[in-house]
């Protein structure tokens, strides 16, 4: 039986470059810019999977924690959170659940902000293995 959720032994390329998220109300130039930064988004998604596979494993990560681990790769917490959302939509990561609730951790004690914790799915782990990270 395959570890991949997609029914074959070749997991999808979660780090593939594709245009980023742009709201419909944004001008055409925003959509063009999203296409131009697609490569960086793909490498950022790969970096998230690598961090989850090599440094977080079962503990998981919030977007703020991933940003803090590699601020050179991730420009902002918001950009990092967007990459996590894209990976979740692709099936590579999921929220860590504790019972029937999402696991959260403080990301900024001063402002008492919390962030949801993400972990790799079986498909995310399969992809990490193809890259030699797991």
* Rounded Cα gap, residues 45 and 105, in angstroms: 21
Whether 121 is in a domain gets the answer yes
Q: Which pLDDT tens digit goes with each residue over 72-120?
A: 888 888 889 999 999 999 999 999 999 999 999 988 767 778 899 999 9
DSSP alpha helix (H) spans, the chain: 28-36, 38-51, 63-69, 77-90, 122-130
Enclosing domain of residue 45: 28-130
Give the side-chain half-sphere CA count within 13 A for 47. 22
Give the side-chain half-sphere CA count within 13 A for 35. 4
The number of domains in the chain is 1
Whether 111 is in a domain gets the answer yes
Whether 14 is in a domain gets the answer no
Whether 93 is in a domain gets the answer yes
Output 71 or 23, whichever has higher pLDDT: 71
Output 100 or 33, whichever has higher pLDDT: 100
The predicted model gives 29-58 an average pLDDT of: 75
**CATH code at 80?**
1.10.10.10
Q: Which pLDDT tens digit goes with each residue over 8-32?
A: 456 566 665 555 555 555 555 555 5
**What is the per-residue pLDDT for 8?**
47
Question: Which tokens in the block code for residue 64?
Answer: 């703020």
Distant-in-sequence contacts of 16-20, Cβ < 8 A, 24+ apart: 16/42, 17/41, 17/42, 18/42, 20/82, 20/86
Whether 3 is in a domain gets the answer no
């Amino acid at each position: 039986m395959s570890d991949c959720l997609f029914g074959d032994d070749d997991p999808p390329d979660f780090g593939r470059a594709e245009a980023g998220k742009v709201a419909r109300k944004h001008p055409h130039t925003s959509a063009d810019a999203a296409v131009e930064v697609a490569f960086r988004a793909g490498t950022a998604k790969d970096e998230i999977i690598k961090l989850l596979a090599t440094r977080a494993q079962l503990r998981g990560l919030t977007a703020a924690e991933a940003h803090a681990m590699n601020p050179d790769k991730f420009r902002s917490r918001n950009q990092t959170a967007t990459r996590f959302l894209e990976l979740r939509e692709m099936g590579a990561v999921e929220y860590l659940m504790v019972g029937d609730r999402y696991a959260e951790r403080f990301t900024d004690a001063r402002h008492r902000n919390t962030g949801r914790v993400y972990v790799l799915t079986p498909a995310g782990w399969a992809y990490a293995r193809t890259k030699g990270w797991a």
